Amino acid sequence: MGIVLDNVSFSYNNNEFITNMNLEIGSNKITGIIGKSASGKTTLLELISGLIKPNKGRILVDDLGINRKDIGIVFQNVEDSFFNIYVRDELKFALTNYNINESKIFDVIKLVGLKEEILNKRIDELSNGEKRLIAILSVIIYNPKIILLDEPTIGLDYKNKKKIISLIKNLKNKYNKTIII
């Protein structure tokens, strides 16, 4: 799915975060957004996801408005992504909302090489790497066409960074996802 930002501006409490932005992001690609701290990268992801609305301009996904089911977002602070205490319940959350069979949980767990025992753990018992993987899985489990990842490897060790990067590449190459980091 291609994404177009057409003259988009966003301000909050008289602070301008994005001003007259025009941007095209191609389908089935991995796109990186870089910039200084507090330059509006997270705000841009929130605008594309539909979590916040631009004050001016429009955002189109495949020449249409934003359909939340087509877009999944994983926040920089993954704890902001979780709605439940247990991993199983967190993964079931999206499945229930989108009326998808629960057996899909086992498919996504295998996708990243986690053991089924993790499903019975509390999220606060997980390592940072496991939390980040579960946050990403809780988005990809409902198969959005666009995945937004806000600093997906921040605070992770080399092994977990490598695992996340491999997952991102796999999602793009095998499942034709549009991914914005």
- What are the DSSP calls for 46-60, one per residue? HHHHTSS--SEEEEE
- How much of the chain exceeds pLDDT 90, in percent? 49
Nearest Cα neighbor of 70 from 139, 143, 3, 144 is 144
Residues 7 and 56 sit within 8 Å (Cβ to Cβ): yes
Is the pLDDT reported for residue 27 higher than 80?
yes
Which pLDDT value is given to residue 152? 92
Count how many Cα atoms sit within 13 Å of the Cα of residue 37 in the half-sphere of its side chain.
1
The span from the CA of 78 to the CA of 135, in Å, is 6
Is the pLDDT reported for residue 100 higher than 90?
no
The span from the CA of 25 to the CA of 46, in Å, is 15
pLDDT confidence tier of residue 1, bands split at 50, 70 and 90: low
Residue with tokens 């999220």, as numbered in its chain? 123
pTM for the full model?
Answer: 0.90
pLDDT tens digits, 34-81: 999 888 899 999 999 999 999 999 999 886 777 777 899 999 988 888
Which pLDDT value is given to residue 3? 92
Residues 176 and 143 sit within 8 Å (Cβ to Cβ): no
- How much of the chain exceeds pLDDT 70, in percent? 98
Which pLDDT value is given to residue 59? 92
Query: Quick one: CA dihedral 141, 157, 75, 130, positive or negative?
Result: positive
Strands laid side by side in the 15-25 sheet: 15-25, 3-12, 56-61
Q: How much is the mean pLDDT over the chain?
A: 89
Which pLDDT value is given to residue 22? 96
Q: What dihedral angle (degrees, nearest 10) is formed by the CA atoms of 44, 46, 51, 55? A: -20
pLDDT tens digits, 128-148: 889 999 999 988 888 899 999
Specify the higher pLDDT residue, 160 or 125.
Answer: 125
pLDDT confidence tier of residue 15, bands split at 50, 70 and 90: confident
Is the pLDDT reported for residue 9 higher than 90?
yes
Residues 6+ apart with CB under 8 A from 46: 52, 73
* Residue 80 to residues 33, 59, 74, 99, 176, Cα–Cα distance (Å): 21, 24, 9, 23, 27
